[in-house]
A and B are shown apart, each in its own frame.
Chain A
Amino acid sequence: MSERSPSPGPTRTVDSTGVVSVVPAGVGYEVDADRRRRVISESPAHVVRCFAEIWAARELLFMLVVRDIKVRYRATTLGILWAFITPLLTIIIYSLFFGVLGRMGTEGVPYPVFLFAALLIWGYFDSSVSRASNALISSGALVSRVYFPRQVLPVANVISPLVDLFFGLLILLAMLLIYRIVPGTAILLLPAYFLLAMAGAIGVGLAASVLNGLYRDVRHFMPVLMRLWFFSSPIIYPVELVPEAWRPLYAVNPMVTVCGGFRSALLGTPPPTVVMIGISTAVTAALLVGGVLIFRSHEETVTDFI
């Protein structure tokens, strides 16, 4: 699909009645039955094209994100307040169970802020992946009636939770003030950890969304996977809980570096080692590329199942 653009330059046609129609250059596409088999052999081109198409459809992406955000808080009485209430309640509950009752080690930081520094970015990752995995199915009517680059749907669902992340950051700032914690220069690495989380979410979200269309089993499996992922990431417990020798293996889960990284950047706890960052980054890159390729090889077939 649109692998090669069949018209190199604009085609200008004048028909018998003198009507002029100009077809712009590079517009159009070719489809053939064998395209799917070529996704792997032409994978670098597919990864580039996948994101080029998103860029070309950025207005659509923007509109979908805006729709998502508007719809989420419209028709609720408390509206945008929910963006504050949900994380606050979560902090209280988790702090009670794991901090007060569980006496979890916190690398010398008060438990609520220790928890929330990691929970914040995990929450973003979790809701991105969960929403993205349903993106194609829940827009089934749209997908089966009008063509647009399909990857826009899951990707929009990775962008719209940024609103909640933003409000979460406000809460976190307030907590830092309350606990009189001043982040050091490590905070400069915060965007890098965030990008790691976002890239991972896009990769997993793309794959999950298209597999969810083909096998509805994914819908049942995703919540379990995310819960497992939650407990295998240092959110309610510190990284120190895992013996040092095992940490490189531990970092195969990129959320280990992301959550640990967020904590170190904001609270000054020990940062992830270079080895861990390297491993996590490599795994994230693999997730991203793998997600794109899985998505590309099934995106045309999946519409028959939605």
Chain B
Amino acid sequence: MSQPIITVEKLGKSYRLEAKRGGDHVLASRLVGAMKRVFTQQRTRDTIWALRDVSFEVNPGEAVGIVGANGAGKSTLLKIIARLTRPTAGRLAVRGRIGSMLDFGVGFHPELTGRENVLLSGVILGMRRAEIRRKFDEIVGFSGIERFLDEPVKHYSSGMRMRLAFSIMVTLEPEILLIDEIMGVGDESFRQRSTQRMKQLIESGRTVLFVSHNQRAVADLCNWTMQLEKGRIDRMGATAKVVQEYIEQQVELERPMAKGHAEMAPNPSQAMVLRAVTILDEHGHVAEQVEFSRPFRVRIGYDINEPVTGVHVFCRVETADGLTVLGSGDADCEPGRLAERSPGGYTAEFEVPGGLLEANLYRISISMGRPFRKLIERQHGVVYFSLVDESSVRRSWYEQKRPGIIGHEYVWRYHDADPWAPAG
């Protein structure tokens, strides 16, 4: 095995707080500050560590995700690796050319034409002029703004400018690519092309460091992921696991996560009120986690406080980051439930068969009312529960979560002796 392409050792970056230091870069106040320190023996300074004691190694060809809340130090880390700012502590070794996609349209000059800016910006980003000329048509083709190439960039719309800038960046061919949250550019078709292109770059064996809030993009692209928390590495490891825990943590931050069972207070002033949601395993026990290959049930308790007609209770099962994986209403297979119902307490439950959903963290969202007419109550993330995989055969050798949301152990057949035998 070769040496790591990026080595980061105990890296730290501190900033002094501007307010406290009173404009330290102004010579006068610096002199005053120095005098003060001499006379008061005061040595403490108000510093914040944007990054502290961060150590990791990246091997060639790895795609590494970096997640974390705002201000966790993700961008600072990328900036240090890209040599844009000096570390206050620690050491960094990079063994390859770096291409950073930290921002768009860097080096564009408004007075220059699109054509001139492509050349200039390419050279700034580290390409040779001959290389840019060779790829010029590719760049322009990708951006889709051929017609305006000889117009000054100041007349471009912001979308056009970004497309041109992005097109230049994706033609870079560095060994190491730093990407900071840039998937949201342009219209839908351009966005798809750029995401596609990013995947190509990653799959072509480049080393990638990828900062994102879009956890699904990280999970799709990265071999492993680190989570930064207040400048330190909080978790590091298999992407699925880290992202999963990160999502759980974020959900917890928003409001305490009810796991397995949740109850709500009665509210007589509302025609229909959700009272309880429970996840039950196949034995009828309240369960926070269920083996993914086993069935589970969702039980919904609610009050009807005044006579209502045509109402149903609709339940969505969603991944923790909000993707709806299934939805079902209590009148789906029993239209009689839509008839007039008198006040009282009701309970309904449905069963999700085992092996339908992949191991993951899920949440239940409930809405009640007349379908497509009147919404009486809607609650997101009432209850969370996990499907876990502790028994499948693949689990015995494969630690990571499988991609996708459909969970099933598929049967493979083997025809090893006769590889080209027709199926069956």
A21 to chain B: closest residue by CB: B205
Instruction: Tell me the A1-54 residues at the B interface (CB within 8 Å).
Output: 1, 6-7, 11-13, 15, 17, 19-21, 23-24, 27-33, 35-36
Task: Kindly identify which residue among A11, A63, A71 contacts B123, using a CB–CB cutoff of 8 Å.
Answer: A63
Q: How many residues of chain A get a CB closer than 8 Å to chain B's CBs?
A: 48
Contacts between chains A and B (CB distance < 8 A), count: 142
Say if the beta carbon of B96 comes within 8 Å of chain A. Answer: yes
- Which residues does chain B contribute within 8 Å of A215, judged by CB atoms? 25-27
Beyond A6-B95, A74-B111, A214-B25, whether A303 also contacts B120 by CB under 8 A is no
Say if the beta carbon of A244 comes within 8 Å of chain B. Answer: no
Q: Which of B101-109, B278-286, B304-312 contacts A (4 or more CB under 8 A)?
A: B101-109
B92 and A31 within 8 A (CB): yes
Say if the beta carbon of B247 comes within 8 Å of chain A. Answer: no
Say if the beta carbon of B112 comes within 8 Å of chain A. Answer: yes
A148 and B116 within 8 A (CB): no
Give 6 new A-B contacts, CB below 8 A, not counting A21-B61, A23-B95. A15-B61, A23-B175, A24-B97, A67-B116, A145-B103, A304-B86
A19 and B204 within 8 A (CB): yes
B2 and A11 within 8 A (CB): yes
Beyond A11-B3, A59-B123, A147-B83, whether A27 also contacts B96 by CB under 8 A is yes
Say if the beta carbon of A101 comes within 8 Å of chain B. Answer: no
The 0/1 profile, CB within 8 Å of B marked 1, for residues 144-163 of chain A is 11111000000000000000
Beyond A19-B205, A60-B124, whether A28 also contacts B96 by CB under 8 A is yes
Nearest Cβ on chain B to A224's Cβ, whole angstroms: 15
B91 and A30 within 8 A (CB): yes
- 16 interchain pairs, CB-CB under 8 A: A6-B95, A11-B95, A17-B205, A19-B204, A21-B175, A21-B205, A30-B94, A31-B80, A33-B86, A33-B89, A33-B91, A60-B123, A63-B124, A67-B120, A70-B112, A300-B86
A218 to chain B: closest residue by CB: B27
Beyond A31-B86, A59-B128, A148-B126, whether A142 also contacts B95 by CB under 8 A is no
Q: Report the separation of the CA atoms of residues A301 and B129 in the bound assembly, to the nearest whole angstrom.
A: 30
The 0/1 profile, CB within 8 Å of A marked 1, for residues 2-38 of chain B is 1101000000100100000000011100000000000
- Which residues does chain A contribute within 8 Å of B212, judged by CB atoms? none
- Which residues does chain A contribute within 8 Å of B86, judged by CB atoms? 31, 33, 35-36, 300-301, 303-304
Nearest Cβ on chain B to A65's Cβ, whole angstroms: 11
Task: Kindly identify which residue among B26, B107, B112 contacts A142, using a CB–CB cutoff of 8 Å.
Answer: B107
Say if the beta carbon of A305 comes within 8 Å of chain B. Answer: yes
B106 and A146 within 8 A (CB): yes
B100 and A146 within 8 A (CB): yes
Say if the beta carbon of A192 comes within 8 Å of chain B. Answer: no
- Which residues does chain B contribute within 8 Å of A6, judged by CB atoms? 93-95
Q: How many residues of chain B get a CB closer than 8 Å to chain A's CBs?
A: 52
The 0/1 profile, CB within 8 Å of A marked 1, for residues 184-225 of chain B is 000000000000000000011111000000000000000000
A-B interface, 10 closest residue pairs, ranked by CB to CB distance from nearest: A19-B205, A300-B86, A15-B61, A13-B60, A28-B95, A147-B83, A32-B91, A23-B96, A31-B92, A145-B106
Beyond A63-B123, A145-B102, A147-B100, whether A29 also contacts B83 by CB under 8 A is yes
Q: Report the separation of the CA atoms of residues A270 and B194 in the bound assembly, to the nearest whole angstrom.
A: 68
B206 and A59 within 8 A (CB): no
- Which residues does chain A contribute within 8 Å of B112, judged by CB atoms? 67, 70-71
Nearest Cβ on chain B to A190's Cβ, whole angstroms: 32
- Which residues does chain B contribute within 8 Å of A78, judged by CB atoms? none
- Which residues does chain A contribute within 8 Å of B205, judged by CB atoms? 15, 17, 19-21
Nearest Cβ on chain B to A1's Cβ, whole angstroms: 7
B60 and A15 within 8 A (CB): yes
Q: Report the separation of the CA atoms of residues A35 and B97 in the bound assembly, to the nearest whole angstrom.
A: 21
- Which residues does chain A contribute within 8 Å of B83, judged by CB atoms? 1, 29, 31, 147, 300
B106 and A141 within 8 A (CB): yes
Q: Report the separation of the CA atoms of residues A23 and B173 in the bound assembly, to the nearest whole angstrom.
A: 12
Nearest Cβ on chain A to B114's Cβ, whole angstroms: 14
Nearest Cβ on chain B to A221's Cβ, whole angstroms: 10
Task: Write the residues of chain B forming the contact surface with A, with a CB cutoff of 8 angstroms.
Answer: 2-3, 5, 12, 15, 25-27, 59-61, 80, 82-98, 100, 102-103, 106-107, 109, 111-112, 116, 119-120, 123-126, 128-129, 175, 203-207
- Which residues does chain B contribute within 8 Å of A59, judged by CB atoms? 123, 128-129
A33 and B60 within 8 A (CB): no
Main secondary structure on chain A at its contact with chain B?
mixed
A71 to chain B: closest residue by CB: B111
B95 to chain A: closest residue by CB: A28
Nearest Cβ on chain A to B14's Cβ, whole angstroms: 10
B85 and A304 within 8 A (CB): yes
B87 and A216 within 8 A (CB): no
A30 and B100 within 8 A (CB): no
- Which residues does chain B contribute within 8 Å of A13, judged by CB atoms? 2, 59-61
Q: Report the separation of the CA atoms of residues A141 and B121 in the bound assembly, to the nearest whole angstrom.
A: 13
- Which residues does chain B contribute within 8 Å of A67, judged by CB atoms? 109, 112, 116, 120
B92 and A71 within 8 A (CB): no
A30 and B206 within 8 A (CB): no
B62 to chain A: closest residue by CB: A15
Say if the beta carbon of A75 comes within 8 Å of chain B. Answer: yes
- Which residues does chain A contribute within 8 Å of B97, judged by CB atoms? 24, 27-28
Q: Report the separation of the CA atoms of residues A56 and B326 in the bound assembly, to the nearest whole angstrom.
A: 58
Nearest Cβ on chain B to A304's Cβ, whole angstroms: 6
Beyond A21-B206, A36-B86, A145-B106, whether A63 also contacts B120 by CB under 8 A is yes
Q: Report the separation of the CA atoms of residues A78 and B116 in the bound assembly, to the nearest whole angstrom.
A: 22
B175 and A146 within 8 A (CB): no
Q: Report the separation of the CA atoms of residues A305 and B109 in the bound assembly, to the nearest whole angstrom.
A: 22
- Which residues does chain B contribute within 8 Å of A304, judged by CB atoms? 15, 85-86
Q: Report the separation of the CA atoms of residues A218 and B376 in the bound assembly, to the nearest whole angstrom.
A: 66
B124 and A146 within 8 A (CB): yes
B124 and A148 within 8 A (CB): yes
A147 and B2 within 8 A (CB): no
Q: Report the separation of the CA atoms of residues A33 and B8 in the bound assembly, to the nearest whole angstrom.
A: 12
The residue among B89, B95, B116 with the most chain A CB atoms within 10 A of its own CB is B95
- Which residues does chain B contribute within 8 Å of A70, judged by CB atoms? 111-112, 116
- Which residues does chain A contribute within 8 Å of B111, judged by CB atoms? 70-71, 74-75
Q: Report the separation of the CA atoms of residues A30 and B96 in the bound assembly, to the nearest whole angstrom.
A: 11
The 0/1 profile, CB within 8 Å of B marked 1, for residues 284-306 of chain A is 00000000000000001101110
Nearest Cβ on chain A to B303's Cβ, whole angstroms: 57
